[in-house]
Amino acid sequence: MDCNNLRCLDNMEKRIDFQVTPSAIKRIQSLQSKNETSQLLRVSVEGGGCQGFSYKFGFDANASDDLVVQDIVIIDPTSLEFLKGAELDYAEDLLGSYFRVQNPVAESTCGCGTSFSV
């Protein structure tokens, strides 16, 4: 990936503590192929949801101040404050298949896992 004008970070640099599991990477790559896009998966945090904040996922072009994680995920600087130490995973279980965030910053989460409070 060409990182000109981007803040590209590698998890090994310890400047960012956000992990993407192999199952999440595999699913993102599958969705990129299916949708014929090279855009990265944006993980963001927005106000709202039953717990006060909610996670949003979607393919997007990166902006100059976005952080690029493992050449597959982008995070805006504001959302990163809520995602420090978090891990993006892809799960397939009785509830269905979905991206989930294991977030140590979250004090509580809702039952579906898409909303949290700090």
Rounded CA separation 36/25 (Å): 16
Rounded CA separation 84/69 (Å): 12
The pLDDT of residue 25 is 97
The pLDDT of residue 64 is 79
Helices (H) and strands (E) in the chain, counts: 2, 10
From the options 2.40.110.10, 3.40.50.12780, 2.60.300.12, 3.40.50.720, give the CATH code of 7-117.
2.60.300.12
In tens digits, the chain (118 residues) has pLDDT values of 444 434 444 433 445 689 999 999 999 999 999 999 999 999 999 887 666 788 899 999 877 788 889 999 999 999 998 898 999 999 998 878 889 898 888 766 655 556 555 5
Closest-CA residue to 113 (of 48, 58, 54, 63): 54
| Pairing status of strand 19-20 against strand 7-9 | unpaired
